[in-house]
Structure 1
Amino acid sequence: MTLQQLPLNVQLPSNQTFATLVAGPNTEAFTLVREGHDTLVYLWGGAGVGKSHLLHAVCSEQSDQVIYLPLGELKQTMQAGVLRGLESYALICLDDIDAVLTDEAWCFEVFALLNRVRDEGRSRLLVTASTSPAQLQSAYPDVQSRLSWGVVLQLQRLTDDEKVQALQQRAHAMGLELRSDTAQFMVQRLGRDLEDLMQRLERLDKASIAAQRKLTIPFVKAVLGI
């Protein structure tokens, strides 16, 4: 895969693919996004429902002309003009679009990009946000209507059992063995936020390599202080 990006320090996590993505209640939405028949797809939901993971997975399967931009992060260091010219890409993934829409300059560039993508008809655009288009806070109200033109999908949280499965699949991709009882303990004791659980798993991975220990419940307790 050739992932073409602007000269930005944006790296896609190598372990966030469809192989490590548990669909759960989002099977239909994930299939629709993966098959790629819709020009504009707007994905929304709370933290930890898999929005960024899904974009990373789609990018990992594309062969050419792909760009992924985490807008919440880029807003801190880049100017809104970074969005100009993106319509030349076959696949454009804009993560956390709601993080920039209250900024007039960023909102204008999003609006202009949406119009160029629609007019030129060469690109597929995947967008994520924490709320539906109707609930977006935007400096330009027309942006909300533009984002509603495509397919709008709400992603749902996984059950605890599905989170256990997600932890085990991610651990397997990292070369770790994570038993069901240990994964269940993590979900029950560390909270239900899947993104936070995955970050704890990365910490455990480093600790297990350093200590040459397996991921047992006592080891998890010791490393995470629980």
Structure 2
Amino acid sequence: MSRQDSNSRQLILNFPARPEYTFDNFIVSKGTEFAWDTARQFASPEPAPYQTLFLAGNTGLGKTHLLMATGNLASETGSALYVHCEDFLHTVAAGEESAASALAPLENVDIFLMDDMDRIAGHPAAQEILYLIYNTLREKDKKIMFAGRTPPHLLPATESYLRSRFQWGMTAELKPIDDATTARLIPKLAQDVGLEIPDKITQFLLTRLPRDFPSIKDAIARINQESFARKQKVTLPLVKAALGLPDS
């Protein structure tokens, strides 16, 4: 694990945090519309018909974005805490005193957000503590939001009592990005870095890029770097060179 990866998963105790994550700048597709709408409603100060929301979907579809956006919006009227599951596991492994100290802010939080729930698999001690946290927050009528690649009922090596708690609330699945959304996402990401992508280049990229956010963002970054190095506008030969595609 790189230092950058580790730092990106620190406990975030004070929202707003990572202001680039909002509901307004999330590119909504047919496959993510329900999750976006559900998360936005969940972040509002109004009582939700459920206390728990679980976002499920493959890597790169926007789960962390929606978790952060929820925390940012919820912080306008209350308090929110985000924790990556890996950090939670490290806290539990560090011992009872460390865990109690790190989790103390939960006593006053209005919404608790935990990311990458697949990592909880095979960690019974952490599952037991999370179970207690879950019950405590529910008793206080607080909101709890999880995200993971696997839907809660299919989480492997996870105690049945915890999986059942995950399923008490709402599960919203994020599905792969469709072509129409990708066609909107490419020029938006380019615009974010001051790059202009012609429509014909967008159409070409649609036939070459995977349908996940990190892959699309990486491609735009490489094209931008190539454009800067050559001091040229974006052309098809430039794009092929940037992405290592055959010029044929």
Q: What letter corresponds to residue 152 of structure 2 in structure 1? A: P
Alignment of 1:99-114 (within 5 A): 99-114=119-134
Does the aligned pair in 2 maintain the 1:90–1:124 contact within 8 Å?
Answer: yes
CA contact (8 A) 1:94 1:126 kept: yes
Within-5 A mapping of 1:110-125: 110-121=130-141, 123-125=142-144
Q: How does 1:136-151 map to 2 (within 5 A)?
A: 136-151=155-170
1:71-116 per-position Cα deviation (integer Å, ceiling 9, x unaligned)? 24x368x323345543522232211112123212322222122111
TM-score (norm 2): 0.74
Query: 2 CA distance for matches of 1:59 and 1:176?
Result: 30
Give the partner amino acid of 1:117: L
**Is the counterpart of residue 218 in structure 1 residue 237 in structure 2?**
yes
Structure 2, gaps ≥5 residues long: 1-10, 43-47, 93-98
DSSP-derived class of the 1:5 partner: coil
How much has 1:124 moved relative to structure 2? Answer: 2.0
1:91 paired with 2:111, answer: yes
Q: Distance in 1 between matches of 2:149 and 2:179?
A: 21
2:18 is matched with which residue: 12, 17, 26? 12
Q: Distance in 1 between matches of 2:103 and 2:234?
A: 43
Displacement of 1:142? 0.7
Indicate the percent of aligned positions where both proteins have the same amino acid: 25
* Unmatched segments (≥5 aa) in structure 1: none
Q: CA deviation at 1:125?
A: 1.7
Aligned-residue offset at 1:210: 4.8
Residues 13, 69 of structure 1: alpha-carbon distance in 2 compared, 3 angstrom cutoff: farther
Does the 8 A contact of 2:38 with 2:172 survive in 1?
no
Question: Normalization by structure 1: what TM-score?
Answer: 0.80
Give the count of matched residue pairs.
217
Match of 2:29 among 11, 23, 38: 23
User: What is the alpha-carbon distance in structure 2 between the residues aligned to residue 212 and residue 16 of structure 1?
Assistant: 33
Q: Does the 8 Å contact 1:22/1:165 carry over to 2? A: no
C-alpha separation in 2, matches of 1:124 and 1:206 = 42
| The structure with more radius of gyration | 2
